[in-house]
Amino acid sequence: MKYQEGLRLIDEANDKITEGNSMIVDAILHAFLFTWQWWIAVGMIIIPWSVWLFIRDKNSSGRLFAGGLLVMVLSEILDTIGVMFGSWSYPIKVFPVASINFSFRLSVLPVVVMLLLQFKPKINPFIKAIGFGAFGAYIGLPLLSMIDLYKKLQWQYTYSFIILTVFYLLSHFVVYKCKFNEIKQE
């Protein structure tokens, strides 16, 4: 394939992506907006962060947020790849954007991780990680699937279990093992 042909193919693909995005926006705005499922997705954005703001350890909130931010970034990257390759999709979204699902990966996942990191810090992190991974993969995702907020296409819940378990362990490492030095005033 020649360079110019590659550019033409990219232009064609972008046109198809734009058309697909328009179809998604149309479905969300005309079929899903303000349905009970849509309101659950809105709640999944607002409620976890509201809970965290009230019950977080204010002295450790920066450190905890670093762990939550790591989960947000990693889940955003992996989720975009999964949607791109057709492993899963998010039929009903709060915001009509093709690959974005704020409800789950940018709210529920990081807040649950931050709360698990904060409470009962002496519990073995592997036990917490396995519990988080199992609950998210084998209970959370099937429940989201039942109400059309998540659609598993070419994916196994066990893969999600492994990924969520690793997410928790990485966050635990960042929060408890990394040393944060104070910023020195000049």
Q: What is the pLDDT of residues 97-126, one digit of tens each?
A: 766 667 788 899 999 999 999 998 899 999
d(CA 82, CA 55): 33
pTM: 0.89
Spatial CB neighbours of 70, under 8 Å, sequence gap ≥ 6? 167, 170, 171, 174
The CB density around residue 47, as the number of other CB atoms within 10 Å, is 14
Confidence of residue 50 (pLDDT cuts 50, 70, 90): very high
Does residue 150 contact residue 144 with C-beta atoms inside 8 Å?
Answer: yes
The CB density around residue 62, as the number of other CB atoms within 10 Å, is 9
In the chain, the percentage of residues whose pLDDT exceeds 90 is 71
| pLDDT for position 104 | 80
Q: Indicate if the pLDDT at residue 151 is higher than 90.
A: yes
Average pLDDT of every residue of the chain: 91
| pLDDT for position 100 | 66
Q: Indicate if the pLDDT at residue 57 is higher than 70.
A: yes
